[in-house]
Structure 1
Amino acid sequence: MLLEKFSTVQAALASAEATRVSGPASPPDYSGSPCPSLWVGNITVDLTETHIRNLFKTYGDIESIRVLHERFCAFVNFRNANMAAKALDKLQGVELENTRLVIRYPDRWIPRTNPGIITTATHPPPLSTGPRRLAPVNGDQCFFWRTTGCIHGDKCRYKHIPDQRGRDKKP
């Protein structure tokens, strides 16, 4: 009815009649989102890119997904920061294939620049090229048990040897 009265959708929505019919709308504010990328933790080998895509696609257009099984994480890149913020808000702690996901913004996010524009900004130094430690340690011990602590507890598929807890934790 309002569309017949007003020439555009924006004009109809801005009218006093639309506010009276629907009430003032106050959607969540996602404007403070730092970036369009999300880090997703607790990714097991049972979770595939398809599982992650099917879960996250309801919150916006996904540009890319990168799953790093050896690091037990994935990166989900949305088209814009508002979509990422909405997904972070709604999916934090969601259980997917018997795994509770941990979601946050990446530690080091470098905004993309237009390939046609040359910038002189300095980039952060490259990551250290030292050897990476991957789980498990010594064949079947839990890497996280020996360092920061394992969140899987009794459900972890690697061994938790009591006297090895926190042994490799760095100060």
Structure 2
Amino acid sequence: CAKVHDALQAIIAKDVELKLGVDIEPRRTDDGVSLSWSGASTGEDVFDYVLVATGRRPNLDSLDLTNAGIALDDDGVPEHDRGTMQCGESSIFLAGDVADNLPILHEASQDGAIAGRNAVAFPAVNSANRFVPFSLIFTSPPTAQIGESEEDGVITGTADFDDQGRA
């Protein structure tokens, strides 16, 4: 995965100037927006417009989940079992953006189905078989990740397609 990551980053860097590992300080100016950055590199530039696409943090503050005994991770997301979507041993189940799993529609839909089934069946909670992880990035060239990451462990297998009508 590191080789693919590095190759894709090099391809994108041909068209987009990447500033990775930096803190940004924005400032409005008469000419647009001034951005200064520091960290892995330092600099400053002025832009007509700035698009910020950083994701979003789940809005859970008003729920006081720690009072319900739910542990939160360093990002404030409730710790949960991805196979059951259950928070600890509680009757609280997560789905979608609040679960902070892969931000992909089919993954969030599966999260909801798993959480819903287990919430209705509680306390008889069952771990579900997850889809094979699949994500696609609309870049040039198109990029996809299929299967587990190196951090999650790599399993190599084979499949016999000799007896397939369309093979």
If asked which structure has higher relative contact order (CA below 8 Å, sep 6+), I would say 1
Bigger radius of gyration among the two: 1
- Global fold match (TM > 0.5): no
More helix by share: 1
Normalised to the residue count of structure 1, the TM-score between the two structures is: 0.21
